[in-house]
Structure 1
Amino acid sequence: MSRQFQDLRLGSIELFCLTAQHLSFTAAAKSAGLTAAAVSRSVTRLEGRLGVRLLMRTTRQVSLTDVGQRYYDQCRQALGQLSEAEREATGQQLKPSGLVRMSLPTSYGHYRVLPLLPDFVRRYPDIEIETQLTNRNVDFTDEGFDLAVRGRVLPDSGLVARKLEDAPLLIVGAPSYLKHHRPPRTADDLAQHECIQFVLPSSGQVVPWLVQSEGHTIEISTPGRLRCAEDILAPITLARAGAGLVQTYRFLVEDDLRDGRLVEVLADHAGASRPFSLLYPGNRHMPLRVRTMINFLVDALGTGPQRLR
């Protein structure tokens, strides 16, 4: 492997990251123990080597260009990995510390992961957590995420997938709807019902319903004039209002079932589930703080493989 970086170049990258973090040469200089002019010259030399403008400068403020933002996200991650590697090599990383950034689906985040985090921060007070709740697939490198939870794993994505759990599905309706519509007894009976649909944001396709039949899980298409996209809780809100039947995750409607706002139907055909997995890049050094989070979630949610060491 040939040498690509000199100490001076790494120093310029670090000063650029400090400037980008504070959006101020003065604040970056104070953090680094230098003058603002020295920091500015260092960043200018870095821009000259790269042949691109990383920062927009005015007399009042400093801001990142689009290229600068992408460069900052990747350099911040790389510098963090270098620092982590040094701490582990010198034995300083005796306990996990630092920032873990996670992307979570909205419903799974609210109902399954976020309620666990107070216990996590009590156990590991030196770890900071930043969560982003979104249903889109994130770019780990460009956006600086350590982990993501997803219900579907993209093929050939280069990501490691650790299953967290198989989340049970069920079909429910409100008593007000079932008062005027005979509850279905077979999967074929769903053709006579208003079935509230959820549209996958990634494909624009309606999610098929899953039912158990003779010990096998089968996909079925269901009729319905109401469709919801983005927010998986929207179909449940419609079902509570008596708009029709909906298939959803049991963990989302447990309170509704207990309080009688929703009633399960086709219980004899229940048992289908969909997996949720924890994703992370397979070609990246894994800091102790990230391994700690992975093991915590696998232990808490139940069905993952052997813990990471």
Structure 2
Amino acid sequence: MALRFDNVMLGSIELLCLTAEHEGFTAAANAAGLTPAAVSRSIARLEARLGVQLFSRTTRQVRLTDAGRDYVAQCRQALAQLSEAERELAGQQRVPAGTVRISLPTSYGHCRVLPLLPEFRALYPEVSLDIQLSNRNVDFAAGGFDLAVRGRTPPDSGLVARRLEDAALVVVAAPSYLASRPAPRALADLAAHECIQFTLPSTGQPVPWLLHGEGGVFEHATQGGIRYSEDILGGVTLARAGAGLLQTYRFIVEEDLARGVLVELLPDFAGASRPFSLIHPAHRHMPRRVRVFIDFLLERLSSPPGPRARY
């Protein structure tokens, strides 16, 4: 098999990533111990080989083009895998080390994952964690992510989803809201109540409540004068303030229920849940630092939920 990459070409790819990281030839040259002219020539050779402009250049700044941004993301991933393979071959990865970059939904991150991370760091002090809290689906290659947790699995055949848990849902309200009206006992009673609406950004429509009856889990549309989107924790703040009834994840409001800040409603319709999954690209090679982090989360979060208190 003929060689496709020589030392010069691999060096050019490394300088490309360095230039993208430092956003300039001069800063990249200083980091690499070269001259800016040498870095510029190296990038120019790479652009000539590819037949694509990777950077747009002005007298003041150097910016990646769209094609350059995509290429750099894939090159970073390839270089990281090469470095990982070298470390494992040299026996330096008997202790997991390096950085794991993960994207977490805001509510699940705050309530379920972030509290576990001190324990993980105590077990694996050589592994650093780079965390993004966002409810948007991420581009693994462009964002440099190793993992993401999502309530809905993106329709991408190149991704692997590992179920973390089925998160129980609960309907709650503040005592101050219930002080002026009777608590609902049946589904028909919901029509007389303010039901706080969570709107999906992708559709602009309120998410129906999931309830459990004799026939299993079913959707029930509710109505209310307040809608919110993006951050699920916003609904909990509204419910605490007495804005109305809210369906949310039990793990978010467990402490509020225990202290009486919120009250659980419609217990006869409890039992519905929504899944959370750990998502990652279907790579042939996964760094050990990522593997141990996956195993840690699966072990801590896949256990059966404890008994549910009702009010």
Q: Normalization by structure 2: what TM-score? A: 0.90
Q: Any idea what the Cα deviations from partners look like across 1:176-225, whole Å, max 9, x if unmatched?
A: 11112211112332222211111112332321111121272221112222
2-structure distance, mates of 1:122, 1:267:
40
1:151 aligned residue: 151
Contact 1:200 1:207 in 2 (8 A): yes
What letter matches 1:96 in structure 2? P
Determine the structure 1 residue equivalent to 2:109: 109
Mapped partners of 2:223, 2:132: distance in 1: 34
Q: Within 5 Å, give how 1:14-163 maps onto structure 2.
A: 14-58=14-58, 61-163=61-163
Deviations along 1:238-285, whole A, 9 cap, x unmatched? 212222101001111122212222111112221211111100011342
Deviation at 1:292, TM superposition (A): 1.2
Q: Could you tell me which residue of structure 2 aligns to residue 293 of structure 1?
A: 293
The reply on whether 1:248 has 2:248 as its aligned counterpart is yes
The letter of the residue matching 2:209 is: W
Q: Which residue of 2 aligns with 1:211?
A: 211
> Could you say what secondary structure the match of 1:154 adopts?
coil
| Distance of aligned partners of 1:99 and 1:216 in 2 relative to their CA distance in 1, 3 Å threshold | same
Contact 2:69-2:142 at 8 Å conserved across structures: no
**1:123-172, Cα deviation, whole Å (9 max, x unpaired):** 22221211111111111122221100000113453211111111111000
2:269 is equivalent to residue 269 of structure 1: yes
Question: What residue in structure 1 maps to residue 307 of structure 2?
Answer: none
**1:229 Cα deviation from its structure 2 partner:** 1.2
Q: Give per-residue Cα distances to partners, 1:49-104, cap 9 Å, x unaligned.
A: 22333234455544433333332222111110111122223333211111111111
Aligned length: 304
Are the aligned partners of 1:135 and 1:201 in contact in 2 as well (CA < 8 Å)? no
* Cα pair 2:197 2:226 within 8 Å, conserved: yes
Provide the aligned C-alpha RMSD in A: 2.1
How far residue 286 of structure 1 moved from its aligned partner, in angstroms, is 0.8
Distance in 2, Cα, partners of 1:156 & 1:22:
32
TM-score using structure 1 length: 0.91
Counterpart-to-counterpart distance in 1, 2:227 and 2:100: 35
Asked if the contact 1:136–1:201 (Cα under 8 Å) also holds between the matched residues in 2, the reply is: no
In structure 1, give the amino acid aligned to 2:111.
Y
Contact 1:198 1:232 (C-alpha < 8 Å) held by counterparts? yes
